[in-house]
């Protein structure tokens, strides 16, 4: 089905979007939510399982206190109220990757509720309402073998890996977000980015979207200005920050084209496709499953001691937004400069580089310059580019000590990224250190003067600018390892200029 | 030579401890008895001959090595097939788990092993503990040793029948609405439902999580108390388990056995009077009330106005929880799988498996529960039933401000003939009329033989406040001291 989509500008001129986000975060606890099985990623299928997380008859769940604590900390960081008393609930539906054919979740009594998260979009602060933060268990993973699509239809066999079953999962649900207009896709992305940073600062999850430890569902609807909110769709399978933005945009365009044609939006789940940037329909919610929620009778209610909650609140780390503001001040950056640091995902890298001894300016220069360029070229995140903050600081140290000039330092950095060792090792092994022995330099300078008598005469007659040509010649014979400023001084001294 | 199968658990443990007999001899005597009579009783779904003899040998070895033995070491025990037993088939009386050998022991079974008891095997039950006669077992009904044309009660009829047929001196049951007490009553044995949370549910295949309570079955009150003590107490693997010591039920049973109930106030529930109970049952009960009075107890009548709503509330709560608990039986990971011919979809295989694996009563309750929990009906059914539960709890709390314990007939009727109530589910449900309120409240209850009606046993129920299980043992032991244990006709 191919239809011509309207232009984005036209869409936002005619319709108002309302978005909402549901984010699932796998907590980084050592053990699963209801049993003592380890949660580490990547084990052989069905090796991190026991009677409890396999849902064997007779087994019972026991709540993981560390997971409850992490959820409360998330709630506190998102300015939520913490329930004084709440219960888990069973969400009943049949699916083979759910060992018990019900998921232990929370229904009308979430652990955390009514909060907000401030995010910045184009220098403006947007307050995103948080409806609830609740704790539940993850499901296993089903692998459909033999079909062309990897989907259940057409598969000859379905294999289930229960290693993930029972890993604590926190669901964070925003309130509907109206009024963002054309910025809706960016607001969605900014929210997930900020949320990810908050979760990372809390140390509750490794928040890796590509490994599925942070998963996002995006709700989108359009309405005419002043009219009631439209029917929303829920887009799943949104697995990167960029995709969050693209998914909202693509769904806005699709819905507009349906509405423009006089159609109506079906309330449904849609799947986002990274390759095309499109969404396609999943199961329709109009024949919605009745989950038959009821309080989980195998667990006792959670009643967090207010004193404990207060302790957790007092011990929260500085939240990323405040932390960034403090760094911006300390680094003396304008809003614009700070924005480029943020856009490059370089805040923590620069911070660590500064902590390792570099000046903020130097750290920023390397991360936003050479290393950002390489990251873009190779299509990796800046943090995964191959250099560590400690190495960058060491490199700058060599420059500051006069052992490397800018060009040599870039060469050394290439070696670092290529994994050849530390900057000092690379400098030594590749013999890249600046030639500072003036005896050797003087010889090279004399050689250059002798080889370029015409230029030498110009300099003698006062045309100092001509010295550049001789400097170039000296740099060439020293393979760039001389300090250009020193060379220039030597030439001028030699020619009495 | 003493017939080892006719002895109480206390007597057997004494003989084993003194070396007058060995655990192996005791076990073999019971295995022989099972071989001789179980064809007529059908109490056992699985007899673990090898495992039992191995466990017995271990007790004998430990005794020979001078190790200190617990008060039940060497005593055989039959375990209701609702509890998981590592490597030993566990069917819950259902076809859907036929052949399943759990990879783990339930907490109760672990504690039985730790206590040095010898597990003889797994006993018959109504499928998933849903029933009052064992006629809903997928493996055929058990029969009452008093009259093998009659039911032994249910759901734990297999455990009660095994006691009455002298196939085991001790047994484990589970009580969701009366499944320990009602079989105890109709077989003339003792059955105790501990306080909810007083015994661990870990490894008890769930029927209704908020009601299920494993507990002891025996032929004497003291034996039941000893078994209760061995299996009870906090279990960190069950979140609903109570983190407090087991009330001293053994001391209470011994105190009661002195036959003195001076200063004990007992309440008779007005709402249970006359309604539904057979005249013979009421006669035996009233006679027992006279006996209790003679033992020094003060008897008062107490109104518990909400008890009349207990049965309907129970038949919403239990099926609701069961509809969710039984969802995991889908043929994917364990047990029966039907229709997996490579052409059918997952949904079809799940449906066919459940269609073939569950019996009619289980299906009925799954459907009732699914309906009661469904969106739009939740408040009217499940929600309303939970409110009734709160009211019933209030009735109990108010009653226990005036009396130490409540007493009633355990069940309205004596053992009925096989087939008499299977055509009308409601007639079957009435068997638990007097036992269900206790489950909704979460307190303990015990059934103790109080006499005969038309030659069949009648049980008296003692209900106590939560975590006051000791009180009911005292009253039951006192009555037992006056009435005596009932001896079934020789099979
Ligand atoms: Zn596990």
Q: What is the pLDDT of residues A304-321, one digit of tens each?
A: 999 999 999 999 999 888
Tens of pLDDT, residue by residue over B202-257, are 999 999 999 999 999 999 999 999 999 999 999 999 999 999 999 999 999 999 99
Give the DSSP H/E element, type plus range, for residue B406.
strand B405-409
> What is d(CA A416, CA A393) in angstroms, rounded to the nearest whole number?
12
Q: Which of A276-285, A425-434, B91-100 has the lowest mean pLDDT?
A: A276-285
Mean of all residue pLDDT scores within chain B: 97
| CA closest to B200 among chain A residues | A60
Model confidence at B190, pLDDT cuts 50, 70, 90, reads: very high
Tell me the C-alpha distance between B230 and B108, whole Å: 9
Would the CB atoms of B103 and A57 count as touching at under 8 Å? no
Please compute the mean of the pLDDT values over residues A131-145 and round it to a whole number.
Answer: 92
CB of B332 within 8 Å of any CB in chain A? Answer: yes
Angle at the Cα of A208 (from A202 to A214), degrees rounded to 5? 75
Tell me the average pLDDT across B441-466: 98
Does residue A266 lie within any of the structural domains? yes
Contact B320 A297 (CB under 8 A): no
What integer pLDDT is reported at residue A148 of this predicted model? 60
SS3 B156: coil
Of A227-241, B5-19, B417-431, which has the strongest mean pLDDT? B5-19
CA B331 to ligand 1 center in whole angstroms: 20
B71 three-state secondary structure:
coil
CA dihedral A217, A218, A219, A221 (to 10 degrees): -160
Q: Which residue reads 């009259």 in tokens?
A: B147
In a domain, A226, yes or no: yes
In a domain, A222, yes or no: yes
Q: Is B179 a catalytic residue?
A: yes
CB B150 within 8 A of CB B192: no
Q: Please report whether residue A478 resides in a domain.
A: yes
Distance CA B385, CA A115 (A): 34
The dihedrals phi and psi of A117, each to the nearest 5 degrees, come to -135, 125
Q: Check pLDDT > 80 for residue A285.
A: no
CB B87 within 8 A of CB B104: no
- Give residue limits of the domains in chain B: 4-267+286-300+401-483
CB contact under 8 A, B328 and A92: no
From A409, A429, A449, give the residue that closes a domain: A429
Instruction: List the single residue in A59, A90, A160 with the smallest CB-CB distance to B324.
Output: A90
Orientation angle between helical segments A453-460 and A467-477, nearest 10 degrees: 140
Pairwise pLDDT comparison (A28 vs A464), residue with the higher score: A28
Positive or negative, the CA dihedral A285, A286, A291, A294 is: positive
- The pLDDT assigned to B157 comes to 98
HSE of B152 in the Cβ direction (CA atoms, 13 Å)? Answer: 34
- Residues B195, B442 contacting (CB under 8 angstroms): yes
| B331, B345 contact by CB (below 8 A) | no
**pLDDT surpasses 50 at B445:** yes
- List the CATH number of the domain containing A485: 1.10.10
Which residues from chain B sit within 8 angstroms of residue A57, using beta carbons?
84, 90, 92, 97, 100, 102, 205-206, 328-329, 334
The whole-angstrom separation of Cα B214 and Cα B82 is: 9
Looking at residue A1, its pLDDT comes to 46
Residue finishing a domain among A429, A452, A479 = A429
Note whether residue A253 is domain-resident. Answer: yes
CA atoms B58, B62, B68, B74: torsion sign:
positive
Of the candidate CATH numbers 3.20.20.140, 3.40.50.1000, 3.40.50.300, 3.90.1300.10, the domain formed by B4-267+286-300+401-483 belongs to: 3.90.1300.10
At A230, the pLDDT band (50, 70, 90 cuts) reads very high
Rounded to 10 deg, the angle between the B9-18 and B23-41 helix axes is 150
Query: What is the average per-residue pLDDT within B116-127?
Result: 98
Range B393-413 average pLDDT: 98
Interchain CB contact of A332 with B (< 8 Å):
no
Q: Using pLDDT thresholds of 50, 70 and 90, give the confidence band for residue B64.
A: very high
Which residue among A102, A152, A300 sits closest to B327, beta carbon to beta carbon?
Answer: A102
Q: Is the pLDDT of residue A436 over 70?
A: no
Cβ pair A102:B324 closer than 8 A? yes
Task: Give the DSSP letter string of B189-235.
Answer: -EEEEPPTTSB--TTB--S-TTT-EEEEEESSHHHHHHHHHHHBS--
CA distances from B376 to A106, A293, A424, B367 (A): 19, 12, 72, 16
CB contact under 8 A, B328 and A90: no
* Residues B193-215 pLDDT 10s: 999 999 999 999 999 999 999 99
Of the listed ranges A68-72, A324-328, B186-190, the least confidently predicted one is A324-328
Domain enclosing residue A162, as ranges: 8-312
A458 and A337 in a single domain? The answer is no
Burial class of residue A341 in the structure, from the number of CB atoms within 10 Å of its CB (0-12 exposed, 13-18 middle, 19+ buried): buried
Nearest residue to B288 (alpha-carbon basis) of B487, B486, B480, B488: B480
pLDDT tens-place string over residues B307-328: 999 999 999 999 999 999 999 9
Residues contacting A257, CB < 8 A, separation 6+: A3, A4, A5, A6
- A419 and A452 fall within a common domain: no
Task: Map residue B436 onto helix, strand or coil.
Answer: helix
- Token readout for B320 is 């609701």
pLDDT of A226 higher than 50: yes
Tell me if B86 sits within 8 A of B103, measured CB to CB.
Answer: yes
Return the percentage of chain A with pLDDT > 90, whole number: 65
Looking at the domain assignment, is residue A461 inside a domain? yes
Report how far residue A189's alpha carbon sits from residue A196's, in angstroms, rounded to the nearest whole number. 10
Partners of B201 on chain A (C-beta within 8 Å) are 60
Domain match, A46 and A114 both: yes
Gap between the terminal Cα atoms of chain B? 20
Which of A339-343, A487-491, B303-307 is most confident? B303-307
Shared-domain flag, residues A288 and A212: yes
pLDDT tops 70 at residue B433: yes
d(CA B445, CA A239): 56
- Segment B355-381, tens digit of pLDDT: 999 999 999 999 999 999 998 899 999
Is-catalytic flag, B323? no
Active site residue B241: no
| pLDDT score for B182 | 98
Neighbours of B473 (CB within 10 A): 33
Q: Report cis status (omega within 30 of 0) of the bond before A104.
A: no
Across the beta sheet with A89-92, the strand order is: A102-105, A89-92, A294-295
Judge if A205 and A99 occupy the same domain.
Answer: yes
Measured between beta carbons, the chain A residues lying within 8 angstroms of B109 are: none
A363 lies in some domain = yes
| Contact in structure between A280 and A273 (CB atoms under 8 Å) | yes
Give the CA diameter of chain B.
73
Inter-chain contact A54–B333, Cβ cutoff 8 Å?
yes
Please, is B333 exposed, middle or buried when counting C-beta atoms within 10 Å of its C-beta (0-12, 13-18, 19+)? middle
Per CB-CB distance under 8 Å, the chain B contacts of A60 are 201-202, 237-239
d(CA A8, CA A11): 5
3-state secondary structure chain A: CCCCCCCHHHHHHHCEEEEEEEEEEECCCCECCCCCCECCCCCCCCCCCCCCCCCCCCCCCCCCHHHHHHHHHHHHHCCCEECCCECCEEEECCCCCCCCCEEEECCCCCCEEEEEEEEEECCEEEEEEEEEEEEEECCCEEEEECCCCCCCCCCCEEEEECCCCCCEEEEEEECCECCCHHHHHHHHHHHHHHHHHHHHHHCCCCCCCCCCCEEEEEEEEEECCCCCCCCCEEEEEECCHHHHHHHHHHHHHHHHHHHHCCCCCCCEEEEECCCCCCEEEEEECCCCCCCCCEECCCCCCECCCHHHHHHHHHCCCCCHHHHHHHHHHHHCCCHHHHHHHHHCCCHHHHHHHHHCCCCHHHHHHHHHHHHHHHHHHHCCCHHHCCCCHHHHHHHHHHHHCCCCCHHHHHHHHHHHHCCCCCHHHHHHHCCCCCECCHHHHHHHHHHHHHHCHHHHHHHHCCCHHHHHHHHHHHHHHCCCCECHHHHHHHHHHHCCC
Measured distance CA(A386)–CA(A384) in Å, rounded? 6
Q: Out of B94, B132, B142, B155, which one is annotated catalytic?
A: B155
Number of domains comprising chain A: 3
φ, ψ for residue B199, nearest 5 deg: -130, 145
Tell me which of A377-386, B83-92, B424-433 is least confident.
A377-386
Helices A438-451 + A484-494 axis angle, to 10 = 60
Q: What percent of chain A has pLDDT over 70?
A: 96
Average pLDDT over residues A155-173: 91
The bridge status of strand B76-80 relative to strand B170-175 is parallel
Q: Is residue A291 domain-resident? A: yes
Same domain, A454 and A407: no
Arithmetic mean of pLDDT, B429-447 = 97
Identify the residue whose tokens are 């998933």.
Answer: B128
Do A88 and A228 lie in one domain? The reply is: yes
Question: Measured between alpha carbons, how far is A163 from A38 in angstroms, rounded to an integer?
Answer: 9
Residues in chain B: 491
Of B269, B261, B292, the C-alpha closest to B399 is: B269
Query: Would you say residue A477 has pLDDT above 90?
Result: no
């Amino acid at each position: 089905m191919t239809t011509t989509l309207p232009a984005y500008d036209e869409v936002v001129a005619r319709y108002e979007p309302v978005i909402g986000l549901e984010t699932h975060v796998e907590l980084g606890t050592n053990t699963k939510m209801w049993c003592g099985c380890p949660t580490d990623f990547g084990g052989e299928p069905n090796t991190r399982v026991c009677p409890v997380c396999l849902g064997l008859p007779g087994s019972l769940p026991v709540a993981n206190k560390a997971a409850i604590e992490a959820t409360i900390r998330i709630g506190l960081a998102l300015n939520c109220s913490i329930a004084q008393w709440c219960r888990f609930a069973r969400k009943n539906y049949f699916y083979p990757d759910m060992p018990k054919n019900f998921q232990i979740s929370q229904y009308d009594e979430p652990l955390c509720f009514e909060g907000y998260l401030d995010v910045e979009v184009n220098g403006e602060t947007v307050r995103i309402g948080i409806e609830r933060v609740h704790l539940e268990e993850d499901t296993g993973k089903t692998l459909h073998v033999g079909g062309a699509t990897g989907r259940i239809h057409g598969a000859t066999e379905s294999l289930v890996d229960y290693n993930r079953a029972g890993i604590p999962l926190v669901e964070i649900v925003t309130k509907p977000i109206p009024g963002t207009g054309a910025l809706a896709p960016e607001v969605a992305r900014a929210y997930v980015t900020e949320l990810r940073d908050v979760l990372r600062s809390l140390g509750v999850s490794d928040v890796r979207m590509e490994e599925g430890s942070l998963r996002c569902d995006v709700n989108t609807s359009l309405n005419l200005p002043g009219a009631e909110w439209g029917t929303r769709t829920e887009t799943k399978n949104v697995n990167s920050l960029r995709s969050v933005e693209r998914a909202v945009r693509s769904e806005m365009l699709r819905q507009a084209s349906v509405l423009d044609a006089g159609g109506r939006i079906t309330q449904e789940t849609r799947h986002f496709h990274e390759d095309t940037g499109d969404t396609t329909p999943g199961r329709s919610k109009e024949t919605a499953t009745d989950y038959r929620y009821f309080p989980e009778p195998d667990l006792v209610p959670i009643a967090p001691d207010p004193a404990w909650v207060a302790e957790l609140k007092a011990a929260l780390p500085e939240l990323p937004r405040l932390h960034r503001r403090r760094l911006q001040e300390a680094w003396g950056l304008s809003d614009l400069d700070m924005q480029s640091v943020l856009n490059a995902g370089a805040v923590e890298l620069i911070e660590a580089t500064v902590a390792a001894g570099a000046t903020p300016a130097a750290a920023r220069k390397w991360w936003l310059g050479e290393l950002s360029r390489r990251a873009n070229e190779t299509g990796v995140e800046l943090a995964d580019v191959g250099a560590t903050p400690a190495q960058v600081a060491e490199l700058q140290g060599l420059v500051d000590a006069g052992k490397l000039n800018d060009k040599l330092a870039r060469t050394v950095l290439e070696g670092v990224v290529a994994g050849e060792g530390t900057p000092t090792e690379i400098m030594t092994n590749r013999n890249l250190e600046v030639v500072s022995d003036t005896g050797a330099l003087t010889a090279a300078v004399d050689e250059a003067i002798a080889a370029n008598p015409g230029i030498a005469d110009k300099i003698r007659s006062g045309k100092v600018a001509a010295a550049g040509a001789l400097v170039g010649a000296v740099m060439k014979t020293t393979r760039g390892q001389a300090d250009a400023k020193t060379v220039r001084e030597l030439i001028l001294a030699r020619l009495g200029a | 030579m003493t017939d080892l199968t006719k002895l109480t658990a206390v007597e057997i443990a004494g003989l084993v401890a003194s070396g007058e007999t060995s655990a192996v001899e005791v076990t073999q005597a019971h295995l022989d008895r099972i071989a001789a009579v179980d064809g007529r009783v059908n109490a056992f779904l699985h007899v673990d001959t090898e495992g039992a003899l191995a466990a017995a040998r271990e007790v004998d070895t430990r005794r020979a090595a001078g190790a200190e033995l617990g008060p039940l070491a060497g005593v055989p025990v039959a375990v209701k097939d609702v509890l998981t037993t590592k490597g030993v088939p566990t069917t819950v009386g259902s076809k859907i788990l036929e052949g399943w050998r759990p990879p783990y022991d339930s907490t109760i079974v672990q504690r039985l092993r730790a206590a040095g008891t010898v597990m003889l095997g797994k006993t018959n039950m109504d499928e998933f503990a849903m029933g009052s006669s064992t006629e809903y077992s997928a493996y055929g009904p058990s029969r009452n040793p008093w009259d093998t044309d009659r039911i032994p009660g249910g759901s734990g009829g297999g455990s009660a029948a095994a006691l009455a047929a002298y196939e085991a001196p001790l047994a484990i049951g589970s009580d969701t609405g009366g499944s320990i007490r009602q079989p105890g009553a109709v077989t003339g044995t003792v059955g105790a439902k501990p306080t909810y949370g007083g015994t661990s549910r870990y490894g008890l295949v769930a029927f209704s999580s908020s009601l299920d309570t494993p507990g002891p079955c025996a032929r004497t009150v003291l034996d039941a108390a000893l078994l209760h003590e061995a299996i009870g107490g906090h279990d960190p693997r069950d979140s609903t388990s109570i983190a407090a010591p087991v009330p001293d039920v053994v001391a209470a049973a011994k105190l009661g056995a002195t036959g003195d109930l001076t200063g004990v106030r007992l309440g008779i529930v007005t709402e249970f009077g006359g309604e539904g109970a057979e005249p013979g049952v009421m006669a035996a009960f009233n006679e027992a009330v006279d006996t209790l009075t003679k033992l020094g107890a003060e008897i008062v009548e107490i109104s518990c106005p909400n008890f009349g709503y207990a049965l309907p509330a129970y038949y919403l709560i239990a099926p609701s929880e069961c509809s969710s608990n039984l969802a995991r039986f889908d043929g994917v990971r364990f047990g029966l799988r039907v229709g997996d011919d490579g052409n059918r979809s997952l949904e079809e295989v799940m449906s066919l498996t459940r269609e073939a694996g569950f019996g009619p009563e289980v299906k009925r309750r799954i459907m009732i529960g699914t309906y009661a929990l469904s969106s739009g009906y939740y408040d009217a059914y499940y929600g309303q039933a939970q409110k009734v539960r709160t009211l019933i709890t209030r009735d109990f709390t108010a009653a226990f401000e005036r009396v130490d314990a409540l007493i009633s007939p355990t069940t309205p009727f004596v053992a009925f003939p096989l087939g008499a109530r299977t055509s009308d589910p409601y007639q079957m449900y009435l068997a638990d009329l007097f036992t269900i309120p206790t489950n909704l409240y979460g307190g303990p209850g015990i059934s103790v033989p109080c006499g005969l009606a038309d030659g069949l046993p009648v049980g008296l129920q003692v209900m106590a406040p939560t975590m006051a299980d000791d009180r009911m043992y005292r009253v039951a032991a006192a009555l037992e001291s006056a009435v005596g244990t009932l001896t079934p006709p020789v099979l």
